[in-house]
């Protein structure tokens, strides 16, 4: 895909489908596409969602094209009467729809492989705007396509997420990568913090990075806040040597990790290296700690769980014991780790208390317990 606008890489994503606007289906495609496009160095200018309405679709697509260099359109390429994305795009492109025999053969082969009867309506999936490049769909019957209109590249994809992923992996990723050399791709640095509000963190970050000219962003996800810094590759050394040390110093009390840090994964690795069974006594998080450790485990950790109000006596239970206790009404909680007859303990009071904050209490206790155990376990191991 050799676009006429290699100097600019603004992306608009338009999702088509009444099932999206009514809330029956969550629009995961926009999120997935955005994350992958940002990794390639593109900038997301907007997300739009429109129902299966020709007039609204046309208005929305024209609006998106005026604010983007690449417009992705997802959905509406199927075989039914409410699938008319190709018709609307053909009208906007001012091109007729033409038959593609190769696409028809792929569609028939796909249906036959699934033992699905070939219907006459499937033929409509094999018409494309004249001059468009067809994108083969390895996971479905609806091929995607792309075409230029002026300075905008229009890319149409089917709606099912697994089909978008298949087209992306088989062709689209490589095609789009050609437009942005790796030396020009914006990079992302991320700091994860705990214990300070998003607004206060933002004030500190803005104060220390006000002259950096980096693009800054924030994401609050209970109980964490992520600080995001986008920077050009040629400024990485400057970021690492000047700005990050300054930021870490000012936020040292609250910084948990950077970039893709996951405390559950780190702790799972440390525990698995000890090669002992693990018993979790959890009266607070309803098994969230177990699930977090299990999700972070990639080394076959020997993990057993018991949810109880009583501790397992260490004399009767060999291995590692992790006990989490607390009261969501008072906000008080504690965590203890018994390993090799040594005990690590930590207690605190959560700012979330009362029945209305129970879920937030559970989440904060879960993550805080993992963080404290990991921090003190590393100290214990190095002694």
Q: Summarize pLDDT for 156-167 with one digit per residue, the tens.
A: 999 999 999 999
Specify the pLDDT at position 340. 77
Question: Max alpha carbon distance in the chain (Å)?
Answer: 80
Specify the pLDDT at position 4. 35
Residue 209 maps to a domain: yes
Q: Tell me: do 75 and 107 sit in the same domain.
A: yes
Question: How far is Cα of residue 19 from the mean position of the Cα atoms in its chain?
Answer: 22
pLDDT bin (cut points 50, 70, 90) of residue 273 is: confident
Residue 298 in this model has a pLDDT that exceeds 80: no
Q: From the CA atom positions of the chain, what is the Rg in Å?
A: 26
Residue 276 maps to a domain: yes
Q: Tell me: do 126 and 159 sit in the same domain.
A: yes
Q: Summarize pLDDT for 238-260 with one digit per residue, the tens.
A: 999 999 999 999 999 999 999 98
Specify the pLDDT at position 318. 66
Domain count, the chain: 3
Q: Tell me: do 271 and 315 sit in the same domain.
A: yes
Residue 117 maps to a domain: yes
Tell me if 299 sits within 8 A of 316, measured CB to CB: no
Instruction: Tell which wins on pLDDT, 307 or 375.
Output: 375
pLDDT bin (cut points 50, 70, 90) of residue 1 is: very low
Q: Tell me: do 74 and 207 sit in the same domain.
A: no
Q: Tell me: do 238 and 323 sit in the same domain.
A: no
Specify the pLDDT at position 339. 82
pLDDT bin (cut points 50, 70, 90) of residue 291 is: confident
Mean pLDDT, range 76-89, rounded to an integer: 93
Specify the pLDDT at position 311. 52
Residue 29 in this model has a pLDDT that exceeds 90: yes
Instruction: Assign residue 192 the CATH number of its domain.
Output: 3.30.70.2860
Specify the pLDDT at position 6. 36
Q: Tell me: do 91 and 202 sit in the same domain.
A: no
Residue 228 maps to a domain: yes
In three-state form (DSSP H/G/I as H, E/B as E, the rest C), the secondary structure along the chain is: CCCCCCCCCEEEEEEECHHHHCCCCCCHHHHHHHHHHHHCCCEEEEEEEECCCHHHHHHHHHHHHCCCCEEEEECCCCCCCCCCHHHHHHHHHCCCEEECHHHHHHHHHHHHHCCCCCCHHHHHHHEEECCCEEECCCCCCCCEEEEEECCEEEEEECCCHHHHHHHHHHHHHHHHHCCCCHHHCCEEEEEEEECCCHHHHHHHHHHHHCCCCCEEEEEEECCEEEEEEEECHHHHHHHHHHHHHHHHHHCCCCEEEECCCCHHHHHHHHHHHHCCCEEEEECCCCCHHHHHHHHHCCCCCCEEEECCCCCCCCCCCCCEEEEEEEECCCCEEEEEEEECCEEEEEEEECCCCCHHHHHHHHHHHHHHHHHHHHHHHHHHHHC
Mean model confidence pLDDT for the chain: 87
Q: Tell me: do 241 and 268 sit in the same domain.
A: no
Residue 314 in this model has a pLDDT that exceeds 70: no
Q: Domain residues for 241?
A: 186-258
Instruction: Assign residue 272 the CATH number of its domain.
Output: 3.90.950.20
Q: Tell me: do 70 and 145 sit in the same domain.
A: yes
pLDDT bin (cut points 50, 70, 90) of residue 297 is: low
Q: What is the pTM of this model?
A: 0.68
Specify the pLDDT at position 315. 46
Specify the pLDDT at position 344. 83
Instruction: Tell which wins on pLDDT, 97 or 188.
Output: 97
User: Which of 236, 258, 280 finishes a domain?
Assistant: 258
User: Which of 159, 182, 205 finishes a domain?
Assistant: 182
Q: Which two tokens stand for residue 38?
A: 């940002």
Q: Tell me: do 268 and 248 sit in the same domain.
A: no
Q: Tell me: do 32 and 144 sit in the same domain.
A: yes
């Amino acid at each position: 895909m050799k676009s006429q606008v290699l100097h600019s890489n603004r992306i608009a994503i338009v999702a088509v489908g009444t099932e999206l606007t009514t809330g029956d289906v969550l629009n995961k495609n926009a999120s997935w596409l955005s994350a992958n496009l940002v990794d390639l160095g593109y900038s997301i200018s907007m997300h739009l969602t429109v129902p299966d309405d020709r007039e609204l679709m046309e208005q929305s697509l024209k609006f998106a094209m005026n604010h983007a260099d690449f417009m992705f359109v997802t959905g509406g390429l199927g075989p039914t009467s409410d699938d008319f994305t190709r018709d609307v795009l053909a009208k906007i492109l001012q091109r007729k729809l033409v038959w593609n025999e190769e696409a028809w053969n792929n569609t028939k082969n796909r249906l036959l492989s699934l033992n699905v009867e070939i219907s006459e309506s499937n033929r409509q999936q094999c018409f494309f705007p004249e001059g468009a490049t067809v994108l083969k769909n390895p996971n479905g019957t609806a091929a995607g396509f792309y075409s230029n209109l002026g300075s905008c590249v229009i890319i149409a994809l089917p709606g099912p997420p697994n089909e978008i992923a298949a087209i992306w992996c088989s062709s689209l990723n490589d095609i789009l990568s050609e437009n942005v050399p790796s030396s020009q791709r914006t990079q992302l640095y991320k700091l994860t913090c705990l214990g300070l509000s998003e607004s206060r963190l933002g004030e500190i970050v803005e104060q220390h990075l006000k002259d950096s000219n980096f693009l800054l962003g924030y994401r609050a996800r209970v109980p964490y806040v992520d600080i995001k810094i986008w920077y050009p590759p040629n400024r990485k050394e400057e970021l690492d040597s000047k700005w990050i040390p300054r930021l870490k110093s000012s936020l040292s009390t609250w910084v948990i990790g950077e970039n893709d840090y996951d405390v559950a994964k780190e702790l799972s690795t440390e525990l698995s290296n000890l090669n002992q069974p693990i018993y979790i006594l959890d009266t607070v998080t309803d098994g969230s700690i177990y699930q977090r450790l299990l999700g972070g485990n990639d080394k076959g950790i020997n993990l057993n769980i018991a949810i109880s109000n009583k501790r397992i006596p260490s004399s009767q239970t060999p291995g590692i014991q992790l006990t989490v206790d607390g009261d969501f009404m008072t906000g008080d909680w504690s965590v203890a780790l018994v390993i090799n007859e040594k005990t690590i303990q930590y207690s605190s009071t959560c700012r979330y208390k009362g029945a209305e904050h129970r879920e937030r209490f559970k989440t904060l206790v879960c993550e805080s317990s993992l963080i404290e155990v990991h921090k003190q376990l590393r100290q214990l191991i190095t002694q």
